[in-house]
Chain A
Amino acid sequence: GNSVTQMEGPVTLSEEAFLTINCTYTATGYPSLFWYVQYPGEGLQLLLKATKADDKGSNKGFEATYRKETTSFHLEKGSVQVSDSAVYFCALSDRGSGGGADGLTFGKGTHLIIQP
């Protein structure tokens, strides 16, 4: 079956530090890959996605590249801000439809804490 593994948290960084949150996956076929972010008291929001190998998703300074050879989709940001503090979830949709019509398989989430 499908699975997503992401690094355990919490991850605590200082403002302006470089961020990497690792994510690897197991899936059949050609999945679409996602990063969702959850701010306190709010629902999950799509941060970025990639639908095929070597695609790079990017949004709000965050980036992730779909690496089929290493089955990874690591999230990176060059300079984090306090406002980036949230829980980040890596996820996949195994039919590669872009995530609209299919249920998602999620990782456990990584709590990111940015200190001023």
Chain B
Amino acid sequence: GAVVSQHPSWVICKSGTSVKIECRSLDFQATTMFWYRQFPKQSLMLMATSNEGSKATYEQGVEKDKFLINHASLTLSTLTVTSAHPEDSSFYICSASGLAKQFFGPGTRLTVL
């Protein structure tokens, strides 16, 4: 099946710094990618929809200036958490749309100290 990778798989950073997470579709082209966030023992929450070559669409309550999304090619979307704070610590998961399905990456664990 289609493979989606995320990098890094985990990252620890200091408060106030920015962190970039990459999401790649390895064997198919994805015009649409999605970014989700998961807190411990909670469901995945959709943060934004990323379309190649256009601005991302953010869900209500998600700060677009804090969570910058770039989808510059059909195989790569990036999520940058700017000026990260401890409350941004979470598990971030991307998915890529292809073949009328969504294929999920393994997730990135972000810890902000």
A-side interface residues toward B, CB under 8 Å? 4, 36, 41-46, 89, 97-101, 103-109
Interface of B is mostly: strand
Chain A proximity mask over B99-112: 1 for CB below 8 Å, otherwise 0: 11111111100000
Interface size class of B (residues with CB under 8 A): 20 to 34
CB contacts (< 8 Å) of B101 on chain A: these are 46, 98-100
A-binding residues in B (CB < 8 A): 1, 4, 32, 34, 36, 41-46, 49, 59, 93, 95, 97-107
Q: In the docked arrangement, what's the CA distance between A100 and B49, Å?
A: 12
Which residues of chain B come closer than 8 Å to A45, judged between CB atoms?
A: 1, 104
Per a CB cutoff under 8 Å, which of B41, B59, B104 touches A108? Answer: B41
Determine which residue in A98, A103, A105 has the highest number of CB atoms from chain B within 10 A of its CB, and name it: A103
B102 touches A43 (CB 8 A): no
A4→B93 CA distance, assembly (Å): 19
Please list the 8 inter-chain residue pairs (A to B) with the smallest Cβ-Cβ separation, ordered nearest first: A43-B104, A100-B100, A103-B46, A44-B104, A106-B43, A106-B44, A43-B106, A108-B43
- B46 neighbours in A (Cβ, 8 Å): 103-105
Alpha-carbon distance A46/B99, docked complex (angstroms): 12
